[in-house]
Amino acid sequence: MVAKKTMIVTGGGAGAALLLAIPFIGGWEGKSNDPYQDIVGVQTVCYGETRVEMRKYTDEECVEMLKKAVTEDFIKPVAKMTPTIANEPYQLAAATSLAYNIGLGAYKNSTVRKKFLVGDFVGACKSFQSWNKVRRLGKLVVSKGLDNRRKDEIKLCLTNLPAS
């Protein structure tokens, strides 16, 4: 019943994007049932969640938290903010992964979103790479982990697009 309801609410393109995004994001975020500080010092738990009580969670709670966050808090707003990709599963899944990692506010103001909005899908996908840095000691430095994640998001994003 829940899966059927989600498909009705999100539609075909978003439904397919959801099936791509949840395991993709989960794989890149990794899972810790216990709270920890992420690479920039933010208190985090489960699959990179920062907006919940910081306590120990079960595996099942972490999975449900990820599904709920991606379904309700990220894929819908990303699709609404970026209607040009709302029915493009690979691009929407990649953009949702980016937004999950950098936040909806940063995604809303990003070159990635702006390029999607004007129909430059390849340019938008390639722009993911600019989000591979963290601030350390007041300077932006490339994070190997973020760099690898962005490369993987770019591959997902470029799926089914004509080669540039």
**Tens digit of each residue's pLDDT (9 = 90 or more) over 17-49:** 999 999 999 999 999 999 999 888 899 999 999
Q: Is 38 one of the annotated active-site residues of the chain?
A: yes
The CA distances from residue 90 to 95, 129, 159, in Å, are 9, 17, 6
The vertex-145 CA angle with 140 and 149, nearest 5°, equals 105
The CA distances from residue 108 to 43, 87, 95, in Å, are 23, 18, 11
**pLDDT tens readout for residues 88-128:** 999 999 999 999 999 999 999 999 999 999 999 999 999 99
Identified catalytic residue from 29, 49, 88, 153: 29
- Given this model, what pLDDT does residue 11 score? 52
Q: Is 147 one of the annotated active-site residues of the chain?
A: no
Identified catalytic residue from 38, 59, 64, 72: 38
Task: Please classify residue 119 by burial: count the beta carbons closer than 10 Å to its beta carbon, then call 0-12 exposed, 13-18 middle and 19+ buried.
Answer: exposed
